[in-house]
Amino acid sequence: MQPIKLGVNIDHAATLRQARGVDYPDLAEIAAIAEKAGAHGITLHLREDRRHIQDADVYRLRKTLTTRMNLEMANNPDVVRVALDVVPDEVCLVPERRQELTTEGGLDAAGQLEALRPTVAALAAQGTQVSLFVAPDRRQLDAAAALGAPYVELHTGAYANASGDALKRELDALHEAAAYGAALGLKVNAGHGLTLANVGPLLDIPNLDTLNIGHSIIAHALTVGMEQAVRAMLAAIRR
If residue 154 lies in a helix (H) or strand (E), which one and from where to where? strand 151-155
CA neighbor of 174 nearest in space, from 206, 131, 222: 206
Question: Is 192 a known active-site residue?
Answer: yes
Question: Is 72 a known active-site residue?
Answer: yes
Chain centroid offset of residue 198 CA: 17
Strand partners, 69: 42
Question: Is 12 a known active-site residue?
Answer: no
Catalytic residue among 72, 90, 96, 170: 72
CA neighbor of 216 nearest in space, from 238, 237, 199: 199
Count of residues for the chain?
239
Catalytic residue among 45, 155, 175, 220: 45
Is-contact 122 158, C-beta < 8 A? no
Q: Point out the residues that are catalytic.
A: 45, 72, 192
